[in-house]
Structure formats: structure tokens, C-alpha cells
Amino acid sequence: MPQSKLFSEVSIPTKSGAGLQLRNRVVLPPMCQYVVAQRDGIPTTWQLTHLGSMAHGGFSLIITEATAVAPEGRISDRDTGLWNEEQVEAWKPITQYIRSHGAAVGIQLAHAGAKASTYGWLEDIEAAGKVGSISDDDGGWETFSASSTDIFGLKPATAMSVEQIQESVQDWARAAQRADAAGFDLIQIHAAHGYLIHQFLSPLNNQRTDEYGGSFENRTRYLREIVSAISAVWPEDKALGIRFSGEDWVEGGWRLEDTVKLSKEMYDLGVRAFDLSSAGIGAYAGPTGPGYQVPLAQAVKQALPEDAFVTAVGAITDAIQAEQIIVTGQADGVSIGRAALGNPQWPNHAAGQLGAKKAYPVQYWRGRW
């Protein structure tokens, strides 16, 4: 049987030249878990168990749920954060455990902007009729965005001043320093799904008339400043990545050609890992079906230098399907999200189907692989 491309080793380049070595090309993408201690952004044994099981399952790179760079940047009051030292200490045993089982570990740094201060998507909350923005009585907080436009069906956000934007950039840099202290190998900047960076990028939300609005150059300025600030403090032997919504799928919104252009600029600033999702602003009007977002990853991959690590995500559930994406050069890796929730051993089972080496812990040797 020919060697599996999906289960070949790969390296994400770093400034030092050492590269972040991955045992295969199967990545666990960020998925919100809505479990924290004290509602203060502190990860718990849930994250240790949940993410640790994915390391047991053979994933090569495990990326945490969206982790807020500031308290007001949380999607909900049940989201993890990285704005203080207590959170750093709580993340340390999690990163250590993941690496001890052969996987690299990344953190998705995020700010929800106008989509912050919402109730977590949990059955008990929804059963109580709590949806949308957290009420003031329940501890909701003021939200901020590129503009004060209300297109999310949530309480209106406050347009950020230039001074607030500049302070926010420093929040990202300080969170990057804490990510290093907590033991993460990679940072993924969350610029997708209608959250704050995406709110600056998309003309659907960004109605500013200053240097942070209007033209492509101005709407992308906030992100460029974030990447530059993170690069200045992030160690040269660690990897830097980003997640984009490749398309808004809405007329007048952010388009794939914008993503391709900005990806090239991000590469020039030192970003080497690119994960391509889509949508998040406006009602979804895009395609559906298996691998529906793969063409977005393919377009970015074709535009970037060969050493960029581009991953596809979205309705990728089958080992043959994932292998085909890599073999045909549509992407360098695949992000397996929802399928992994049902089967944390997805990579090991896929390796078995493809005749590749599995990466289960020795304690699981009795398993029927």
C-alpha cells in the first residue's frame, strides 16, 4: 500500500528555522467548551481531559478553544481567557500533558467584539430561555467593535476609539507573552467567524471613516498591528498561525480575493499556519456538503510560498476524503472538529484505514485497532 500523505510528518516554519514538528497532518481545531472555574476564564480539568483525549487519539496539533485576550473579549462568561497569571498557571499542566503524548499544542487567541457577552450554547441555559446577549442582571458587559452597527441581533456594541484599538493591540501582545509562559507551541489568531478582527475586516460591519475603516488597507490595519505586536514578543522557535473566514458569502462583504491578498501580507509578517473557515457576519448564504470550505484553503495555498502550512476545515469526516485533500494538493493538513467530538480516536482509526502508523498510548495496546 502506498504511504499515506495524511499521516506523513510535516513542519510548520518558525523564525529560528527549527520549525514546529508535527507527527501527521490531522489538526484539532478550536471548539468552545463553556467550562471554566469561577466564570473567570480559568481552564479546568475538563480542558485537560478533553484535549488530553485528543492527544491520545493521535492528533498532531491540538488547538484550544477561543481564548479571550481581555475580559470583555469573551464570547460568553464561560469562555477561557489569558489575561492574567492565574490563567497561565492553569494552562501549564494542560500543555505539558498534551506534549507528553506526542502532540504539539496551540492556543487560539480571540476577541469576540460585538459578539461578546452572550449566553453559552448549553442546553441548560437555552432551556431557561437565556439566548443572545447576557442581561445586565446576569452580569452582562459592554461590548466593543469597529463600528456601532447592529447586525448580529445582539445588544449594540460601542465603536472603539483609536486609543482603545491601540490598547487592544497590546492586549493581544500581552496574551501572547502569557501563551509562551503557559507552554504553548503555536498561537492561532482568530480572525474569523464574525468576531472582532473579522468585524474590522468586513465592509458589512466596518463603517469607520478614519485610518481603521474604508479601504482594504485601513480595514486590515488592526490585524496587521496585532500580528506585528505578537511577532515582537513571540519566541522565534515557536509558530504563528491565523484562522480566516475566507468568505462572508454575503454580497458586499469580505471575499475570497480579499483573504488571498491578506494572507500574502500575513505571510510577509511571519505567519506560517493558515486555517480556512468561512462566514460569521450576516445570514449564511454559502455552500454546504462534505468539504464545502476546502476550495477556500486551496485558493490560499496556491497563492502562498510552498512552506506555508494551510489547513482545510468543515464537514471533513472520512479518512479517504481527508487523504484525498492532501494528495491532490488542496491543503497541507485537515482540521477535524465535530467528528472528533464523537470519536477522539479519529486519527488512529483513519491511520488504520490508510495503512499508516497509529499513535495511541501504550496503555491502549489491547484495543481493537
Catalytic residue among 34, 97, 119, 195: 195
Instruction: Calculate ∠ Cα 274-278-284, nearest 5°.
Output: 175
Annotated catalytic residue 195? yes
Amino acid present at 325: I
Residue 177 burial class via C-beta count within 10 angstroms: exposed 0-12, middle 13-18, buried 19 and up: middle
Instruction: Give the residue numbers marked as catalytic.
Output: 195
